[in-house]
Structure 1
Amino acid sequence: MARSIVLTAAVLLCSGALFSAFVPAARPVVSAPKVSGTTAAVTTALIAPQAAFADEGAVWIPALSAIGAGFAIGLAAIGSGVGQGIASGRCIDGISRQPEVADDLRGVLLLSLAFMESLTIYGLVIALVLLFANPLIK
């Protein structure tokens, strides 16, 4: 025990970590007035349309379309994944409680999974339209 304490102290003293741990207090920094999230969102919403129709070289619409495509496919996949997980779990619970209705539950489960997956495909279609056939770009 004493040996480990001595070795730890030696390593700390040799590396200088003991003395570099003490950092002087930072001087107060005068910051700009704080802006709430609502104010920033409203300002962005007011500025973005004018910036999107700027002169040559404006990349706002393609950039925002790419972000929108990412959100479309991401939210569709997350929502569908959660829904499919819940439905599959409930189906397994139902089959474990009443094994005699397993065939009926399996058929209903597969049909409902197909409908849930179609919503993900709609999100993919929206993302592809925003990326490759964007109606907002002239």
Structure 2
Amino acid sequence: MEALGLVYISAAIMIGLAALGTALGFGALGGKLLEGSARQPEQAPALQGKMFLMAGLLDAVPMIGVGIAMYLIFAVAPGLAG
């Protein structure tokens, strides 16, 4: 029964750390966009387009973490319980 609890705790930690990493990434990305736009205002539209591309790629990190956590909860944990 201890292993079952560890699976749930590890899934929760995985989701939490993925969300924390994504939040830090978005903060750094937005800060660099503002910094680059302040230095070269004529490049702001190009920088904004690249920022949205990177934001889309950065969004994949927590989705992958949630997918692996759901695998742990729904595929690994029932095998440990029975």
**3-state SS of 2:59 partner:** helix
**Whose radius of gyration is greater, 1 or 2?**
1
Higher normalized contact order (CA 8 Å, seq sep 6+, divided by chain length): 2
Identity fraction in percent: 34
Structure 2 portions without partners, runs of 5+? none
Q: Which amino acid aligns with 2:3?
A: I
Name the structure with the higher helix share: 2
Equivalent of 2:4 in 62, 77, 93: 62
Structure 1 portions without partners, runs of 5+? 1-58
The Cα shift of 1:137 comes to: 1.7
1:124 aligns with 2:66: yes
Q: 1:72–1:123: 8 Å Cα contact kept in structure 2? A: yes
Report runs of 4+ in structure 1 exceeding 2 Å deviation: none
The Cα shift of 1:135 comes to: 6.8
RMSD: 1.6
2:34 matched residue in structure 1: 92
**Structure 1 segment 3-42 matched on structure 2, within 5 A:** none
Distance 1:92 1:134 in 2: 44
- TM-score, structure 2 as length reference: 0.87
The Cα shift of 1:114 comes to: 1.0
